[in-house]
Amino acid sequence: MPRKSKPSLVPITEALNTIYKQSKGSGLQPELFSEIKNEVYSIGQYLGSNEEEAFMFAVVCAMNLFGEEVESRDLIRFFDVTPFELVNHLQTLNTLSDKGLLVRQKNRRRFSEGLRKYHFIVAPAILNAILNQQPMPKEEVKEISDVVEVLEKINDFCQECISENMDANDLYDEVNETLEKYKHFPFIAYVLGLDLTNADRIVYTYVVWKSINGCLSVDMDEPINSFFRRSSNRVQYLQGIYNGSNKLIKYDLLEFSSGRFFNDLDFLLSDKSLTLLQENGLTVVKRKSSKNAILPENIAQKELFYEAEEKAQVDDLRAMMEEERYNNLMQRLSSKALPQNLNILLFGAPGTGKTETVYQLAKASGREIMKVEISQSKSMWFGESEKLIKKIFKDYIELAAHTVKAPILLFNEADAILSSRKTSSNSPVSQTENAMQNILLEELENFKGIFIATTNLAENLDKAFDRRFLYKIEFHRPGLAARAGIWKSKLPELTDGDAEAVAKEYDLTGGQIDNVVRKLEVQRILHESPLELDYILKLCSQEVVLQKGINRIGFGG
């Protein structure tokens, strides 16, 4: 009996070309494999794979070179076979994907189900090696050695799902398989030991990964939209988060902060989770932070202009917020059993620079600002506003505990909550506002830190708040010299004479001058027009019309 001859080696690109040409429209008949045995053998030797794997790899590779992403429908058409004749070969594609020779990607078309769910491409490094006639690249398989790599692997699956290359069901399978495989790590064992749903495990490990990578809080809008196939399941999950029945909240693993919309959701690791991670060798360099926290380095430095009395008081505040002086003040207050706080009220007409002054004080002293817009804290649900006030001060305490310098708690436009309490009204709104004020008074009594409130209506200030503020600074409309200085700072190309002329003719606040300058910049961009005094005066006139009750002064015209 004659010995069976060993197939001959053929150059890889030549083998790919022959397999492609012979296979197209072949119906996968038995004689095909006799005709291309040398070529299949050559591909197999190159890849280190068996003949079936080599054959399917060669077809996908050749089709990729023609610009095609290969899915089952493409192969049925290419070979001219029925789906039933192709089924066994499709399993080979998954095997090649598992070996890293092909990359399996989820189709984005809505009808992609069953055999048409995925398409395949050759791994880029291998394709590049083939085209450059280089040896098969050796992939170094790195064993996972610590829990960080496990979390990264899970995050990679999550990103595949978010980018729509993997559906939610496959994500659940991949994450559960990974957790089971690496449960010898104590942190993974702890997660598996909790009675969590698949979605909970994915959300929790995703937030942990983002947190150990430096995220202060993790925006979960897009991930949660991706982690559920059905909208009803997503809504039910969010309901559990908000009402506290979700086990991640119930077990105190995560905290959340919500925005104005139902699915506007940020997650934070709880202290319990931070401790757990620390015990497992994972230090999260982060601190809890309000969504409205403003970092001093993100505040643009601006030159502000004040009347003489205001300037002296603001300068005192700036000096008092220097860290050494501030710490000395807190120690002295403590030694005399006095409240250890720097509570400040800035009041005056709109646009006079109250809020910007707070920003510049924070910038100069290197302090963060936890900004609260009081109008957004008045919840439509009775009783919720009082809870929000308490939460604000709790959040401030947590923020202060994780910052080197005491941050500034800013209640911006706090007219409603600082105004005189209603004594005769029984309306729910009045009762809620009074309750908010009582809670604020109680919190300020024991407050430690820097609290600044801005208001336009100080004449309505409730008497009970008066003694809570160490400093009360009134901001007046800027005088002539201050207005001229503002104009010159905003438009340096103005001559001193022109700046003074505009300041004389229009009694505008700093905020109104900002509006004029912004309109001027828009016009200069649109029309590339030079700076003209007459046009500036025209814009000032329009600003006066928009601001009721502000009268034109100086010379007429």
**CA count, 13 A, side-chain hemisphere, 188:** 20
- Under CATH, which architecture does the 12-131 domain have? Orthogonal Bundle (1.10)
Give me the pLDDT at residue 263, please: 46
Contact 27, 40 (CB under 8 A): no
Select, from the ranges 108-112, 211-215, 450-454, 472-476, the one with the highest average predicted confidence (pLDDT).
450-454
Q: 431 falls in which pLDDT band (50, 70, 90)?
A: confident
Within this chain, domains 12-131 and 147-286 share the same CATH topology = yes
pLDDT at 328 over 60: yes
- What average pLDDT score do residues 171-177 get? 90
Query: What pLDDT is attached to residue 367?
Result: 93
Please check the confidence at residue 203 and state whether its pLDDT lies above 90.
yes
Minimum mean pLDDT among 141-145, 393-397, 472-476: which range? 141-145
Per residue in 479-495, pLDDT (tens digit) is 898 889 999 888 888 88
Predicted confidence at residue 551, as pLDDT, reads: 44
pLDDT bracket for residue 88 (50, 70, 90): confident
User: In CATH, which superfamily holds the domain spanning 296-475?
Assistant: P-loop containing nucleotide triphosphate hydrolases (3.40.50.300)
Candidate from 89-98, 100-109, 396-405 with smallest mean pLDDT: 100-109
Strands (E), 435-481: 449-455, 471-475
Tell me the C-alpha to C-alpha distance, in Å, between residue 379 and each of 153, 256, 282.
41, 18, 38
- pLDDT score, position 257: 65
pLDDT in tens, 183-199: 999 999 999 999 899 99
Report the distance separating Cα 65 and Cα 2, nearest Å: 40
d(CA 346, CA 329): 21
Domain boundaries defined on the chain: 12-131, 147-286, 296-475, 480-546
Distance CA 524, CA 264 (A): 38
Beta carbons of 368 and 399 less than 8 angstroms apart: yes
Q: Taken in order 464, 466, 468, 474, is the CA torsion positive or negative?
A: positive
Residue 410 has pLDDT above 80, yes or no: yes
Residue 281 pLDDT greater than 60, yes or no:
yes
Q: What is the pLDDT of residues 493-515, one digit of tens each?
A: 888 999 999 999 988 888 888 88
Q: What is the pLDDT confidence band of residue 414, given thresholds at 50, 70 and 90? A: confident
Per-residue pLDDT reduced to its tens digit, 362-392 = 999 999 999 887 766 555 445 566 677 887 8
Give CA–CA dist 399/503, Å, rounded: 43
Which region among 12-21, 75-84, 86-95 has the lowest average model confidence (pLDDT)?
86-95
Instruction: Name which of 371, 355, 349 is nearest 459 in CA terms.
Output: 349
Tell how far CA 551 is from the center of its chain.
Answer: 45
Number of H helices, E strands in the chain: 26, 11
pLDDT category of residue 146 using cuts at 50, 70 and 90:
confident
pTM of the model: 0.48
Share of the chain above pLDDT 70, in %: 86
- Mean pLDDT over all residues of the chain? 82
Percent of the chain with pLDDT over 90: 27
Looking at domain 147-286, which of 3.30.160, 2.60.40, 1.20.5, 1.10.10 is its CATH number? 1.10.10
For residue 22, what pLDDT is reported?
93
Residue 553: its pLDDT value, please? Answer: 38
Task: Tell me what pLDDT residue 383 has.
Answer: 54
| Interval 138-145 mean pLDDT | 67
Angle between helices 198-212 and 168-181 (to 10 degrees): 70
Residue 108 has pLDDT above 60, yes or no: no
